Amino acid sequence: MIDLLGLDLDGTLLSKTKKINNPSKLALTNLIAKKPSLKVMILTGRSVFSTLKHVEKLNSLFKKPIVDYFCCYGGAKLYQIEANKPQERYKFCLENSVVETTFSIIKKHRGLCLAYLDSYVSPYLCLAGNKLLGWFTKYFWYRKRCVFFNQNHLKQGILKISVYFLSAKRCKKVYEILKNTFQEKVNVLSFSNNLIEITHHDANKGYAIEYMAKREQLSLNRIAVIGDSWNDYAMFKKAKYSFAMSKSPSQLKLIATNTSNKTNRYRFSTLLNLISETIINQKAD
């Protein structure tokens, strides 16, 4: 039996068009119908602004809200929705020394840093590193949502740094440099051949799940999670039931309770149906 379902957004709940598709809506509706008390928690690397939009859309699908908690920035912030407004429950900002060291390394290797500021208003992103890539990112993508880094941004606090490289070979090299530089002091995750993400040591989805469970007096044995990438590993280790999407890293699949075998628009709904048919009302140990 489960009381909570933790969901990643990109590559999991959201389709390739960044929406909740009809098969997923139907499967989720059937799951909630089978257990009306079931709650959903969203856990994502996105910003609070982007995450909240999807939380609101998800809640609007049902007669009563199903999402009370969500974490964003890869677990650096946790929110609880009260009176239809998100209330911050914790946050982890990177130490200034970590930020400055990261920016220095990335600039040397001609990569681009996209740092997420602890801010509720735009601009909430700052750019550092390769100036040409930064210019294209600002003027063709984020526009008013981002600015170029200055020392005052350290006072605001930085929740997460996304690092981009055009060269996969260089990205792999810098990933190893960052891992060796920081050791276990921060989370350094390789998301793709061109993307690295850096967060505070305690800023992960596993911590978010555990924190929420203690706050709501829920057992981790009654929680299931679904994800598809490295930043889902921590929550897979915490929850009793974990389900990996078909294109997940092999190490994530190894620790998963089950894995989707679909790569089409049914890849997420297949896992929801599996949960509905097996563990949704199964007796807890």
3-state DSSP of the chain: CCCEEEECCECCCECCCCCCCHHHHHHHHHHHHHCCCCEEEEECCCCHHHHHHHHHHHHHCCCCCCEEEEEEHHHCEEEEEECCEEEEEEECCCCHHHHHHHHHHHHHCCCEEEEEECCCCCCCEEEEECHHHHHHHHHHHHHHHEEECCCHHHHHCEEEEEEECCCHHHHHHHHHHHHHHHCCCEEEEECCCCEEEEEECCCCHHHHHHHHHHHHCCCHHHEEEEECCHHHHHHHHHCCEEEECCCCCHHHHHHCCEECCCCCCCHHHHHHHHHHHCCCCCCCC
Q: Is 118 annotated as a binding residue?
A: no
Return the pLDDT at 41.
98
Q: Which of 200, 220, 235 is the last residue of a domain?
A: 200
Going from the first residue of the chain to its last (285 residues), give the mean pLDDT of each consecutive group of 10, the final group possibly shorter: 96 94 95 94 95 95 94 98 95 96 95 94 90 86 87 92 96 97 93 94 97 97 96 96 95 95 92 90 61
Q: What is the pLDDT of residue 284?
A: 53
181 marked as binding residue: no
Instruction: Single out the residue in 149, 180, 200 at which a domain terminates.
Output: 200
The answer to whether position 86 is within a domain reads yes
Q: How many domains does the chain have?
A: 2
- Residue 6 is assigned to a ligand binding site: no
Q: Is residue 283 part of a domain?
A: no
8 is in an annotated binding site: yes
Does 149 lie in the same domain as 71? no
Do 106 and 141 lie in a common domain?
yes
Instruction: Give pTM, 2 decimals.
Output: 0.94
Token pair listed for 139: 């003027």
Domain-located, residue 285: no
Q: Check whether 10 is labelled as a binding-site residue.
A: yes
Do 215 and 207 form a contact (C-beta atoms < 8 A)?
no
**10 assigned to some structural domain:** yes
Q: Give the pLDDT of residue 280.
A: 76
Residue 282 lies in a domain: no
Residue 143, domain extent: 96-200
Final residue of a structural domain among 175, 200, 225: 200
Residues forming the active site: 8
Q: Is 229 annotated as a binding residue?
A: yes
Same domain, 215 and 78: yes
Please tell me the predicted confidence (pLDDT) of residue 191: 85
Asked whether residue 153 falls in the same domain as residue 118, the answer is yes
Q: Is 227 annotated as a binding residue?
A: no
